[in-house]
Amino acid sequence: MTIPTDPETGEFKRAPNRFTARITADGADGWPAEAGRYRLVVSRACPWASRALIVRRLMGLEEALSVAIADPIQDERSWRFTLDPGGRDPVLGIEFLGEAYRAADPDYDGGISVPAIVDIPSGKLVTNDYPQITLDLDTQWGAHYRDGAPDLYPEALRDEIDEINRSVHRDVNAGVYEAGFATKQSAYDDAYRRLFAQLDELSERLAGQRYLVGDTITEADIRLFTTLVRFDAVYHGHFKCNRNKLTEMPVLWAYARDLFQTPGFGDTVDFDHVKRHYYQVHEQVNPTRIVPNGPDLSGWAQPHGRADLGGRPFGDGTPPGPPPPDEVVPPQW
């Protein structure tokens, strides 16, 4: 995997999302939210894709929006479907996600990223715009939500959620990558400083409230969780984000355990996929491709005590049911 960095500054440069069509209730972009029409392609290793898996579970969209789980190990041809019989996705009939990208644009030669939503009839990629994908799953698929689905992006709180999401993305979600992929000390130092300054601010905020915005789980919690759940497994060591482990930050550790133990969160996390992807694919960071045996994951099952702060995880809604049998994650410890 080639990591794009600026040769002068040593800063990691994430490519913009090229395919940004939206799937909406009114189909304004030509893609109406229809049950059975689309396939969500994810890797359980990827934090951006994990957001979509969590939202899909919380909103009860499993029957309306099928999912394809890619192998956590990519090769030069992109995310691959080697976990499926014959090495092909059984619905899309393709071996590599890049085939759907090129079906949408034969001249496309950029990066192949997840999450991605593919139109099943045409085989064309619709969108890889990960921030918008979850917002649209939150708000545009209402005809297909389960009874008791939560409101993850309540209108009255959207400005505050958006503000939190911007700072968390800049310094935490993207910050760990900017530290881990930096090729100059100054670039690493800047990312490291911003990351832990933001984590300290978040710790202060969450010391007195159970969730980031309001008294229920929102899009903001989902976006922070997918970075926190990977922190000790890969970011602390592999990406040199090592001022503290998550387990050494009491408020954030309890907050992350609270979410992990909430239906729809921990049951989408596969630490084996996470560790094998980061340590084996990022050869520029880990040339030996050795996957460490630690950390001990059993702490994720320990009591968190966060319920004492109040809050209602699903608001007026209810927890999602168990995942479909073919999406159950193997035991983690």
Token reading at 152: 């993850």
Token reading at 96: 């590599």
Beta-bridged to residue 78, according to DSSP, are: 75
- Of the candidates 38, 101, 130, 177, the residue annotated as catalytic is 177
- Map residue 39 onto helix, strand or coil: strand
Q: Residue 255: left (phi > 0), alpha (psi -120 to 50), or beta? A: alpha
Contacts of 241 (CB under 8 A, 6+ apart): 176, 179, 180, 192, 195, 196, 231, 235
- Of the candidates 46, 101, 278, 279, the residue annotated as catalytic is 46
Question: Do residues 56 and 62 make contact, with C-beta atoms less than 8 angstroms apart?
Answer: yes
Angle ∠(318,215,232) on CA atoms, nearest 5? 90
Question: Do residues 207 and 251 make contact, with C-beta atoms less than 8 angstroms apart?
Answer: yes
As a whole number of angstroms, the distance between CA 318 and CA 149 comes to: 7
Sign of CA dihedral 289, 113, 191, 203: negative
DSSP string of 181-236? Answer: T--SHHHHHHHHHHHHHHHHHHHHHHTS-SSSSTTS--HHHHHHHHHHTTIIIIIT
The question of whether 241 is a catalytic residue gets the answer no
Token reading at 282: 């990022």
The phi and psi torsions of 216 (rounded to 5 degrees) equal -135, 165
Strands 116-119 and 38-42: antiparallel
The question of whether 188 is a catalytic residue gets the answer no
Known catalytic residues are 46, 177
